[in-house]
Structure 1
């Protein structure tokens, strides 16, 4: 059954939503990072106006300006600084490599990149910045902040008191951010999310799971990833929760030690990172958490088992989404958690399932709603946004949906192989490998085969993995022989993207190179 979005929630721009949150929840501490210098709502608003006025002096109205910063107070302030003056943030994935980043800058028509020397030095990105500086101007925020004088601070005091008088008005339907898809299965695409897309998604999540303003949201995910931006920043700020930003999801030990120190209530992360956190966490490290939300990739059975056995009573809620849906399309509920599903569709969303030839179970999921993107950036003109046909986003996922709106992900359309005339889900084959070797990471791709059309290749970090063990398990559990990979590539580490998602592009290239050798 389709649940409507609360009609009392009028469309808002991002900065209007921030101001409205201060009106609703009071001028409380709302933003903090590892430097432990928290900001109140007024502090965020004031800092955004002061920095935004400096950036506005070197940019044009509605100009797209890139941000290359980690999850931090500075990153959040910079995002809102652009919106205070009607500029459009373009979030850069600094782990994507020079070629992808240059393509992103060209696709979005970006002329300036905002970054910080401290971050670039710590992340050892000096060479990357030098390369990007050949196609766009690098603006060092450290230098911008040094230029802030007494008149700027006095202006900030006034803007903090009366932000609506100083705010450059923009429509809720105007661009809120340009993000680039992860590139898990191909070249990243530029996604334009409107301001209302982002605000609406935070409202949808809060309507589905009412959040307590006294809670603390801990966000280790990058803000160039929509899960980190909406879930880790905008959702808590708009719903009155303190948003604690941490610059890298890779620092497992530091993160689990910080969680109880900052009294974290909710942790957002991906399966890859949660698995690492669970392995290094002590019995009390997750003691303040109400629940954990996992998204961006499938949560493995092994990860569920780790949390169930080591942290009794802590709920791990799996969700589902895409950059194109701002990103949350479905998520489990603390009181209605169904492992094996990604939860229920968000309020205000419509869906349809289209049949796919050769695939008998489930259908191809299409989504429409207030959180679904404005469109993709045109490949030929940065100023052109290609809208969706009828507002429907083709997720490319094969799913089943029950009467209560719970979604089970069966695979991606691109993640099926046709072997001997039969469609085989590569996701299901990965599940088979995980059942045999649950403590390892596995990825399955297909390559052309002259006899059966396609052949499955298992890429695994299990060094003693062998086909006979997979065949034995399949026979014992009634799995079809077609689902057993006939080729195994053993690697020291299965490639992943900066977001923690499996890098299928790199894995496909590895498999094809191995075949050609």
Structure 2
């Protein structure tokens, strides 16, 4: 297990920050210090930041059998309190700014973090395979937790490493939060290979990020579609970064034009561009488009990762074998999670998925076995009796030079844009393209499209009235 084998990399650098570097030996020493007096098979919350402290806590807990829940540092405090009440953690590992009630005592500190321990510990019942809890990427309100086993973590980490050809010479920089499954998988797969990881909270939109980038010379980083939109906006095309060797994309579908743009750009720059597909429910990733196919298969999510497989089913759940026929995408593999947790009593449950995941995505495959996502199964409305795909509308507007997001209820389509001057034009365009009377279309100007920490659109926060 990668978290148990860290010491074999000895004096190699494991983490670099703006002002510090530590080796794998240093990391193992700090893990052993934090482990003192901790009890196995307890529940811990980590309020995550992209820093040494957060990853130290994560690796420590995995190593000694504590089950961590990774929580965003930007989580609403009321929601965090609800999670604490619901799941009754024994430990909370967080920045010293997170002060709790008198029901907690501070038992350890490291840099900016401290360990707070409940003075009235709850006796959790865990399934013996349960290793880690993550929130689903769309979680708002009362979050649903994904239950991941040790085998889920290990198998997906190995498969990702194999798909990307990761070696000790790779050096990633963090561009996504570690509580997000894609961001965490980047850390896991590079720790497996004894790599140096540059940890930063800086945004790719900040000058300080690129100053750090040029001084530390990472060879790889990953991003969601929003990351790539921003990279194009800030002129990544003109940047001289000869040490950058790999880019990875996951966390949502990158539209065909943007995918082709980066595939061709990376080819010119001598960078390998990998498009991947995954979900929290599959630990992280399920497929990879090999870099050599990035241009000719632009828009594809590629082929399943090692030890995984895809198949498509129709509305009757019959398997689709023909090429270019749409169906719901199913995935089978050892990285499929054990299931969900809705409350503390669910932590003892076993594997409810049995290695099979209905992704909820609609897809098709070409005659060479490469898969393409075409939309979400539930992202449909009925408008005047017509079935309308919200994803298709977003794609239509994008191809016509507009940027918007869509949601709605039956017989009413809501379109949101950050560009006030586009409101009337969007309404007319959509009405013409999908042959729906404009009275069913409401276009709203909003100052900012709501997104989570990893850049995914929070459709549930769009006001539909």
- TM-score class, shorter-chain normalisation, is 0.7 to 0.9
Query: For 1:411, what is the secondary structure of its paired residue?
Result: strand
Secondary structure in structure 2 of the residue aligned to 1:254: helix
* Alignment match, 2:138: 183
Equivalent position of 2:121 in the other structure:
none
- CA-CA distance at 1:62 after TM superposition: 0.5
Q: Can you list the C-alpha shifts for 1:202-246, whole angstroms capped at 9, x where unaligned?
A: 211122221232121111211111111112x11101023211111
Does 2:53 align with 1:87? no
SS at match of 1:176: strand
Q: CA deviation at 1:274?
A: 3.0
Note if 1:68 corresponds to 2:47. yes
3-state DSSP of counterpart to 2:48: coil
CA distance, structure 1, for counterparts of residue 242 and residue 431 of structure 2: 39
What corresponds to 1:125 in structure 2? none
- Structure 2 residue 285 is the aligned partner of structure 1 residue 320: no
Q: Does 1:272 align with 2:226?
A: yes
Evaluate the alpha carbon distance shift between residue 111 and residue 361 of structure 1 in structure 2; reply closer, same or farther with a 3 A threshold. Answer: same
The structure with more helix, counted as a fraction of residues: 1
Give a deviation string over 1:115-154, Cα, whole Å, max 9, x none: 122xx4xxxxxxxx45xx3597374853799999xxxxxx
Deviation at 1:429, TM superposition (A): 0.6
Query: Partners in 2 of 1:267 and 1:186 — Cα distance?
Result: 31
TM-score, length of structure 2 as denominator length: 0.85
Q: Distance in 2 between matches of 1:381 and 1:366?
A: 28
Alignment of 1:394-413 (within 5 A): 394-413=358-377
Matches within 5 A, 1:279-428: 279-281=233-235, 283-300=238-255, 303-304=258-259, 307=262, 312-313=268-269, 314-337=271-294, 338-356=297-315, 361-379=325-343, 381-385=345-349, 387-428=351-392
Query: Is 1:137 paired with 2:104?
Result: yes
Matches for 1:444-483 after TM superposition, within 5 Å: 444-448=406-410, 454-468=411-425, 471-472=428-429, 479-482=433-436
Do the aligned partners of residues 375 and 315 (structure 1) sit closer, same or farther apart at CA in structure 2, a change above 3 Å counting? same
Contact 1:216/1:244, CA 8 A, preserved across alignment? yes
Counterpart Cα distance in 1 of 2:353 and 2:192: 30
3-state SS, counterpart of residue 93 of structure 2: strand
Residue 194 of structure 1 deviates from its aligned partner by: 1.3
Three-state SS of the structure 2 residue aligned to 1:65 is strand
Q: In 1, Cα distance between the equivalents of 2:303 and 2:393?
A: 25
Q: 1:113 to 1:444 in 2, by over 3 A?
A: same
Cα separation, partners in 2 of 1:105 and 1:147, compared to 1, 3 Å = closer
Residue in 2 that maps onto 1:226: 181
Corresponding position of 2:320 = none
**CA gap 1:483/1:375 in 2 versus in 1, 3 angstroms:** farther
CA offsets per residue over residues 377-421 of structure 1, 9 Å max, x none? 144625333632443222111111235442211111121112233
1:367 Cα deviation (Å)? 1.7
Q: Residue 18 of structure 1 corresponds to which residue in structure 2?
A: 6
Q: Distance in 1 between matches of 2:408 and 2:215?
A: 46
Contact 2:331 2:359 in 1 (8 A): yes
2: CA distance, partners of 1:481 / 1:443 = 19
Whether 2:3 is the aligned partner of 1:41: answer no
Q: Note the aligned Cα RMSD (angstroms).
A: 3.3
Note if contact 2:260-2:298 (Cα within 8 Å) is conserved in structure 1: no
Runs of 4+ in 1 over 6 A off after TM superposition: 143-148, 308-311
What TM-score, normalized to structure 1? 0.77
Does the CA-based 8 Å contact 2:127-2:349 persist in structure 1? no
Quick one: distance in 2 between partners of 1:191 and 1:146? Answer: 25
In structure 2, runs of 5+ residues without a counterpart are 116-125, 317-323
Q: Which runs of 5+ in 1 are unaligned?
A: 1-12, 121-128, 149-170, 449-453
SS in structure 1 of the partner of residue 421 of structure 2: coil
For 1:413-456, what per-residue CA distance to the aligned partner results, in whole angstroms no more than 9, with x for missing partners? 12111223332221111111222235x4x2100223xxxxx221
Looking at structure 1, the residues matched to 70 and 302 of structure 2 have their Cα atoms a distance apart, in angstroms, of 28
CA shift, 1:499, in A, is 1.6
Moved more, 175-184 or 463-472: 463-472
Q: 1:186 to 1:287 in 2, by over 3 A?
A: farther
Kept in 2, the 8 Å contact 1:173–1:195? The answer is no
Quote how far apart the aligned CAs of 1:61 are.
2.0
